[in-house]
Amino acid sequence: MKESMWGYLLIFIGLFILTVLFFVYNYSTANENDYYLLKEATEAAMIDSVDRGKYYYDAEVVIQKEKFVENFIRRFSEITNINRSYKIEFFDIYEDPPKVSVRVTTSTGEHVFRASAADNPVVNTLDAILETKN
């Protein structure tokens, strides 16, 4: 009896560790995945939102913020994990010179949240600019 209890304990610990590993893995994967998607979507959206007329005529690199936000949302929705919900926030969009700050919040399994950041386990932020080649 005593030996079987040890066995159960070992199995329980193993399961617990697996659960923790699974959770941590899931979290870090989601975090990393979201970060790269965020980075890719931001880059594409920023480049898409450049006012090309202004660029080609005036040699000015200026983005259009509404266009950037739309483009980002559409791109991000296309490429990200569709099984999760996201809260996307845009801070500090400067059109000229182009600079954006984006925060994407999601969770590993729960439904959409509206609570504070403390309840959102997977948060990624990104700050990026467009600069000319010198």
Q: Which residues bind other proteins (CB under 8 A)?
A: 39, 42-48, 50, 52-53, 55-61, 64-67, 69-71, 73-75, 77-78, 80, 82-94, 96-97, 99, 101, 103, 111-112, 114, 125-134
Shortest CB 121 distance to other proteins, Å:
16
Q: Which of 26, 87 has the CB closer to other proteins?
A: 87
Q: Which of 26, 54 has the CB closer to other proteins?
A: 54
- Report which secondary-structure segment, H or E, holds 33: helix 2-48
Shortest CB 29 distance to other proteins, Å:
18
Residue 97 preceded by cis peptide, ω within 30? yes
Q: Which of 24, 129 has the CB closer to other proteins?
A: 129
Using CA atoms, how far apart are residues 41 and 78, in angstroms rounded to an integer?
10
Using CA atoms, how far apart are residues 60 and 72, in angstroms rounded to an integer?
22
Q: What are φ and ψ of residue 129, in 5° steps?
A: -135, 170
